[in-house]
Structure 1
Amino acid sequence: MGAGDVIAQQLVERRGLHGHHVPRTLKMMAIGFCFVGPVVGGWYKILDQLVPGTTKVVAVKKMVLDQGGFAPCFLGCFLAITGAMNGLSAAENWSKIQQGSFTTVSFSAQIWPPVQIANFYFVPLKHRLAVVQCVAIVWNCYLSWKANRM
């Protein structure tokens, strides 16, 4: 999460080293450590219990549950947490979630389905979070940019 935020600030927003907002990076790191890692790791364990196995059909079922059920809820919570950490009121936060959820979920649906099918089919449970985090460097850059521009 921290690396994604640094990339967002430096390459996307072009803030430069003097314009880098360190508290924002620290907030994103905290969200990653306290929310993203535990929640996504726990979700993969639950998903493996709900849909056991590693066949192609099982991988597709897991991806559908992941992207159709988990991802929208997770992204809404992520936007709410970043809004709260940025000092938004409940009304401002709700407005931000309503504005950003559709485009964020739509972009997620373009990136994650092929990654997750491969992840669920080829990668053992204990390594799935690591695989996701490799792809998530780019995804977290987008999330940081999206969450902090609204």
Structure 2
Amino acid sequence: MFRAYQSALKRRPVLTQSITTAVLFSTGDGMAQQFIEKKGIKNHEIGRTTRMALYGGCVFGPAATKWFGFLQSKVQFPGKPNLEIVARVAADQCIFASCNLFVFLSSMALMEGKDPREKLNSTYFNALSKNWMVWPVVQFTNFKFVPLEHRVLLVNVVSLGWNCYLSYLNSMPSGAHVPNPTYPPDV
């Protein structure tokens, strides 16, 4: 199976990463609904899972694939590999993560027929601060040890938990983001 995945990555990297991302984004939503929110199969919101798959496959997968390629080719400090990794992590977190979160919350609101400004006002900074607690370490490890063609896959695997959180956060009614000491836990 891994050989088939490797072969697909070589032939059509963006498409392969997009399909993988769609599957893992929808899995993260399924985990949120079933294990965190405990909705049960009868109350599972298929539309919500579909929206997560669409975002993962049509937006995040292609964007992350191109972004990681850009960082690899443009953010270079020859002879200073650790500085190079720190610069890539900083660019990733300051540019890509903040923009991606903005696009994610806005597009989810639009697909749900809600006001994107309201969604952003109620959730963006909370989610971004939690993002910065998790992703810099993940991305440092990713950029240091993982080959370019597998970086989106690593992010997608770690994202199972992150997407579970994002799906939960996105499903909360506006204004319900006020920190609760027990749920959702800080990551």
TM-score bucket (shorter structure): over 0.9
Residue 93 (1) aligns with residue 126 (2) = no
Out of 34, 49, 69, the residue aligned to residue 95 of structure 2 is 69
Query: Which one-letter code corresponds to 1:109 in the other structure?
Result: W
Task: Point out where structure 2 has 5 or more consecutive residues left out of the alignment.
Answer: 1-24, 174-187
* Residue of structure 2 equivalent to 1:13: 37
Task: Tell me by how many angstroms 1:52 deviates.
Answer: 2.8
TM-score (norm 1): 0.93
* Residue of structure 2 equivalent to 1:129: 152
* Residue of structure 1 equivalent to 2:54: 30
Q: Residues 48-97 of structure 1: CA distance to partner in whole angstroms, max 9, x if unpaired?
A: 12213682221111001111122111100110111111111xxx211111
- Runs of at least 4 residues off by over 4 Å: none
* Residue of structure 2 equivalent to 1:56: 82
- Separation (CA, whole Å) in 1 of partners of 2:111 and 2:124: 18
Q: Residues 4-25 of structure 1: CA distance to partner in whole angstroms, max 9, x if unpaired?
A: 0001101111101111111111
TM-score (norm 2): 0.75
Return the structure number with greater helix share. Answer: 1
Correspondences of 1:106-145 after superposition (within 5 Å)? 106-145=129-168
Aligned pair count reads 147
RMSD: 1.3
Identity of aligned residues (%): 35
- Separation (CA, whole Å) in 1 of partners of 2:61 and 2:27: 14
* Residue of structure 1 equivalent to 2:26: 2
- Separation (CA, whole Å) in 2 of partners of 1:120 and 1:3: 25
* Residue of structure 2 equivalent to 1:80: 106
Task: Point out where structure 1 has 5 or more consecutive residues left out of the alignment.
Answer: none
Q: 1 or 2 for the larger relative contact order (CA 8 Å, sep ≥6)?
A: 1
* Residue of structure 2 equivalent to 1:105: 128
